[in-house]
């Protein structure tokens, strides 16, 4: 199972649920705070090494962004690959607008009492106008679609070639694992 294929189901809501949300930002919703900062962390479920992996996407209001991939459980000797990329200002504004339209700043984001045991996990952390907002995976059902749209909006800003490059490195790490 590939890294890109693991993320693909999370990207699909962008195209099927939230496509209209990526229109150009207008009015007050388009004004993005200077301190706007987004971090989306993904942790694969409980899998034996080297199949487990984690990634973090960080996007800032200036567009300076990065993706960090850890191709295994975090421990001594496991690499952490960081790739920088730039998000154009209109796309940062659109991301902020997607967050506004999906209630990031107004909903009370409650988690389900229990999530699946051993499953993957996402956490979205956003700073805007001096306040910190967090949406953890397994939110209650009335907010689930909005959370997925926001996760997908962040993921969609990572260039496809960067996903592919990191997937190739991860596959090489898996192939070489028994020799470590």
Per-residue pLDDT of the chain (180 residues; tens, 9 = 90+): 455 455 544 444 444 334 333 333 333 445 899 999 999 999 998 888 899 999 999 999 999 999 999 999 998 989 999 999 999 999 999 999 999 999 999 988 877 766 667 778 899 999 999 999 999 887 878 888 999 999 999 999 999 999 999 999 999 999 998 765
Q: Which one-letter DSSP state was computed for residue 70? A: E
Per-residue pLDDT, 6: 56
Q: What is the pTM of this model?
A: 0.80
Per-residue pLDDT, 137: 82
Q: Which one-letter DSSP state was computed for residue 177? A: G
CA distance 62 to 139: 29
The two structure tokens encoding residue 128: 């805007």
Per-residue pLDDT, 16: 38
Angle at 102 between CA 65 and CA 96, to 5 degrees: 30
Three-state SS at 5? helix
Per-residue pLDDT, 1: 47
Query: In 3D, which of 37, 157, 56, 55 has the Cα closest to residue 104?
Result: 37
The alpha helices in 107-159, defined as continuous H runs, are 141-156
């Amino acid at each position: 199972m590939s890294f890109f294929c693991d993320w693909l189901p999370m990207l699909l809501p962008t195209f099927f649920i939230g496509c209209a949300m990526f229109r150009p930002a207008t009015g007050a919703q388009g004004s993005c705070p200077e301190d706007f900062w987004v971090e989306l962390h993904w942790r694969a479920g409980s899998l034996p090494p080297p199949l487990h992996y984690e990634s973090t996407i960080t996007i800032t209001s200036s567009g300076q962004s990065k993706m960090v991939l850890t191709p295994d459980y975090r421990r001594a000797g496991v690499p952490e690959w960081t790739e920088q990329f730039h998000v154009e200002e209109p796309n940062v504004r659109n991301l902020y607008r997607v967050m506004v339209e999906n209630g990031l700043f107004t909903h009370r984001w409650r988690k389900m009492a229990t999530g699946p045991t051993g499953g993957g996990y996402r956490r979205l952390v956003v700073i805007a106008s001096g306040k910190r907002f967090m949406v953890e995976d397994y939110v209650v059902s009335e907010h689930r679609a909005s959370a997925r749209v926001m996760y997908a909006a962040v993921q969609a800003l990572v260039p496809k070639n960067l996903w592919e490059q990191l997937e190739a490195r991860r596959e090489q790490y898996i192939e070489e694992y028994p020799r470590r």
